[in-house]
């Protein structure tokens, strides 16, 4: 292990013990900027494995999942340099195309190196991933995709082992819509022989951002952002430069933070169109929303009504904003029904919100939230997934007294300086050890 990896791991262990203390009450106001999207940066950084040489990225968010990606890329022979949100990756062939368990277990998205390693080196061994505890999150669709493209794949001793001299283009029809599966298929197909057609492809802006980088590297792709993507394989790709797209989930979280306190907050450097599912629902609740070319403002209001949401793939309501929106609904007038349509076990935040005084009844994948403005009071809470942690921080902004959110390890996986951004809007929030 090199010095950078060692430093990052020591730092990460320390941060695991951190908590966030929020004192409820302040009405947030002002403008805050969005960072680059974690879920776009991860596949884009892994896609660098597809071409030797120097890749340059800007607007790479500073967060733990990105650190984990860096460690994995370094273990695969890459040299990384980071200067704030600018990242340079020098790619050279790895000693062996293996992603070991100790690195993969920290981040489920590590499975995204399967496609690039296999298509580039004819072989990949990737440990089965860990990550957020939000239901069983299988990787069968990733494995099936590689098989479709001609690879022999076996699972042995906790590793996916895939081999193919050269992948061959095919029709891939996803029976279930998968963001990561679509991304792995794309990264594998760009160097395959012949044409691959992905049907029922994910349309998420993060998938589109990956395609933009693959195209910048010389890949031949059409149809991104629609449910059919066509890839004509090429023999070789070259390194390029890319700015990561704005994080719509972070932007949405910040917008809800302003809304839940009844304040007027502008979130800028985002793509308002990517957040329409959220802003439409907020308007249904009675919030005044104004969008600029790269900004969204939520107007100050004292009361709003409940509404029903059901999460679904883009452009539907994002599952990654479900927990945060539920926090907002605890403060609404009336009852809201929240349906989780993507993951089978994504209500872990409910019990913790209830500990703060929320009135929520979960029933399998549906939760009924009875709103009560001002009804929360601070407590010690803990979350076991990234977006759940964010919802607890949001609830803490309006809970009476002090809320201590423990295990913010998860929050740090996906939010760049969330507490600093909220403090800049007037929140009484601090990180403690
Ligand atoms: C990505 C996002 C995550 C978001 C999710 C859904 C990243 C790094 N993460 O996760 O934040 O919550 O999309 O928008 O981009 N499934 C299978 N078999 C597979 C793969 C997935 O059954 O091989 C299932 C999953 O369990 C889930 C559904 O398909 O029920 C969608 O998952 P998927 O879109 O693949 O999520 P991720 O790419 O892991």
Q: Please write the tens of the pLDDT for every residue from 233-285.
A: 999 999 999 999 999 999 999 999 999 999 999 999 999 999 999 999 999 99
Q: What's the whole-number mean pLDDT along residues 309-331?
A: 98
**What is the SS3 assignment for 188?**
helix
Closest C-alpha to 327, from 298, 341, 306: 306
Confidence of residue 131 (pLDDT cuts 50, 70, 90): very low
Q: What's the whole-number mean pLDDT along residues 17-32?
A: 95
Per-residue CA distances from 278 to 81, 206, 289, 303, 345 (Å) = 36, 17, 11, 18, 21
What pLDDT is attached to residue 357? 97
Atom of ligand 1 nearest to the CA of 38: 8
Indicate whether 16 pLDDT > 80: no
Crossing angle for the helix pair 348-355 and 322-329, to the nearest 10 degrees: 30
Mutate to test the pocket of ligand 1, among 342, 347, 388, 389 (most ligand atoms within 8 A of CB): 342
- The percent of the chain in helix, strand and coil, each rounded to the nearest 5, is 35, 25, 40
CB of residue 141 inside a 6 A radius of ligand 1: yes
What pLDDT is attached to residue 407? 86
Q: Please give the DSSP secondary-structure letter assigned to residue 129.
A: P
What pLDDT is attached to residue 129? 76
What pLDDT is attached to residue 95? 86
Indicate whether 132 pLDDT > 50: no
CB of residue 342 inside a 6 A radius of ligand 1: yes
Element (H, E) at 215: helix 205-216
Torsion sign over Cα 392, 395, 396, 399: negative
CB atoms within 10 A of CB 140: 11
Per-residue CA distances from 115 to 138, 145, 161, 431 (Å) = 16, 9, 12, 38
Q: What's the whole-number mean pLDDT along residues 217-222?
A: 98
Max CA pair span of the chain: 63
Confidence of residue 5 (pLDDT cuts 50, 70, 90): low
Closest C-alpha to 108, from 72, 79, 144, 82: 72
What pLDDT is attached to residue 105? 86
Are 15 and 412 a contacting pair, CB within 8 Å?
yes
Indicate whether 88 pLDDT > 60: yes
Indicate whether 223 pLDDT > 90: yes
CB of residue 45 inside a 6 A radius of ligand 1: no
Convert 104-121 to b/e letters by CB count within 10 Å (16 or more is b): bbbbbbbbbbbbbbbbbe
> Bridge partners of 432?
19
Catalytic machinery residues: 132
Choice among 131-145, 154-168, 196-210, 306-320 with the minimum mean pLDDT: 131-145
Per-residue CA distances from 56 to 91, 240, 368, 393 (Å) = 11, 6, 46, 34
Radius of gyration of the chain (CA): 21
Convert 198-208 to b/e letters by CB count within 10 Å (16 or more is b): bebbbbbbbbb
CB of residue 160 inside a 6 A radius of ligand 1: no
Predicted TM-score (pTM) of this structure: 0.95
Mutate to test the pocket of ligand 1, among 42, 144, 180 (most ligand atoms within 8 A of CB): 180
Q: What is the DSSP string of 337-353?
A: EEE--S-SS--HHHHHH
Beta strands in 159-213 (DSSP E): 159-163, 171-173, 195-199
Question: Between residues 89 and 6, which one has the greater pLDDT?
Answer: 89
Q: What's the whole-number mean pLDDT along residues 289-305?
A: 97
pLDDT tens per residue across span 161-190: 999 999 999 999 999 999 999 999 999 999
> Bridge partners of 380?
404
Rounded to whole angstroms, how far apart are CA atoms 182 and 376?
41
What pLDDT is attached to residue 414? 92
Indicate whether 15 pLDDT > 70: no
Rounded to whole angstroms, how far apart are CA atoms 383 and 191?
41
Q: What's the whole-number mean pLDDT along residues 52-75?
A: 96
Average pLDDT, the chain: 94
pLDDT tens per residue across span 327-377: 999 999 999 999 999 998 899 999 999 999 999 999 989 999 999 999 999
What pLDDT is attached to residue 136? 60
Are 399 and 381 a contacting pair, CB within 8 Å?
no
H-type helices in 16-164, by residue range? 38-47, 64-75, 101-104, 114-121, 140-148
CB of residue 247 inside a 6 A radius of ligand 1: no
What pLDDT is attached to residue 384? 78
What pLDDT is attached to residue 228? 98
Whole-number Å distance, alpha carbon 213 to ligand 1 midpoint, is: 21
pLDDT tens per residue across span 65-84: 999 999 999 999 999 999 99
Element (H, E) at 355: helix 348-355
Cross-sheet strand order for the sheet of 359-363: 309-310, 335-339, 366-370, 359-363
Whole-number Å distance, alpha carbon 276 to ligand 1 midpoint, is: 21
Rounded to whole angstroms, how far apart are CA atoms 85 and 83?
6
- Is the peptide bond preceding residue 315 cis, with omega within 30 degrees of 0? yes
Rounded to whole angstroms, how far apart are CA atoms 196 and 193?
9
């Amino acid at each position: 292990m090199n010095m950078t990896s060692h430093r990052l791991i020591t730092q990460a262990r320390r941060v695991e013990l951190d908590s966030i203390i929020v004192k409820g009450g302040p009405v947030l106001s002002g403008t805050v900027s969005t960072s680059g999207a974690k879920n776009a940066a991860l596949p884009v950084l892994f896609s660098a494995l597809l071409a030797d040489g120097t890749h340059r990225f800007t607007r790479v968010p500073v967060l733990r999942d990105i650190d984990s990606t860096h460690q994995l890329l370094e273990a695969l022979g890459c040299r990384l340099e980071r200067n704030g949100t600018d990242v340079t990756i020098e790619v050279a062939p790895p000693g062996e195309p293996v992603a070991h368990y100790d690195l993969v277990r920290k981040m489920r998205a590590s499975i995204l190196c399967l496609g690039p390693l296999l298509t580039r080196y004819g072989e990949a061994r990737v440990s089965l991933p860990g990550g957020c505890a939000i239901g069983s999150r299988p990787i069968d669709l990733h494995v099936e995709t590689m098989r479709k493209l001609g690879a022999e794949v076996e699972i042995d001793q906790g590793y996916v082992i895939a081999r193919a001299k050269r992948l061959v283009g095919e029709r891939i029809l996803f029976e279930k819509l998968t963001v990561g599966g679509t991304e792995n298929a794309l990264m594998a197909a760009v160097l395959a022989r012949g044409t691959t057609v992905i049907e029922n492809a994910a349309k998420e802006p993060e998938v589109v951002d990956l395609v933009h980088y693959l195209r910048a590297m010389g890949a031949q792709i059409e149809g991104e952002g629609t449910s059919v993507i066509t890839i004509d394989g090429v023999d070789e790709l070259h390194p390029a430069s890319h700015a990561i797209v704005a994080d719509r989930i972070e932007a949405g979280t910040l917008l809800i933070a302003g809304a839940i306190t009844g304040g007027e907050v502008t979130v800028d450097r985002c793509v308002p169109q990517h957040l329409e599912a959220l802003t439409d629902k907020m308007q249904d609740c009675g919030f005044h929303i104004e969008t600029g070319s790269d900004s969204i403002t939520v107007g100050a209001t004292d009361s709003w009504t409940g509404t029903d949401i059901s999460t679904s793939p883009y452009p539907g309501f994002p599952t990654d904003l479900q927990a945060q929106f539920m926090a907002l609904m605890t403060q609404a007038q009336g009852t809201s029904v929240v349906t989780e349509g993507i993951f089978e076990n994504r209500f872990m935040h409910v019990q913790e919100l209830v500990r703060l005084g929320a009135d929520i009844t979960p029933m399998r994948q549906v939760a009924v939230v009875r709103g009560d403005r001002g009804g929360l009071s601070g407590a010690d809470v803990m979350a076991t997934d990234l977006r759940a942690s964010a919802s607890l921080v949001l609830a803490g902004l309006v809970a009476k007294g002090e809320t201590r959110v423990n295990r913010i390890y998860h929050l740090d996986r996906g939010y760049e300086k969330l507490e600093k951004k909220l403090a800049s809007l007037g929140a009484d929030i601090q990180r403690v050890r």
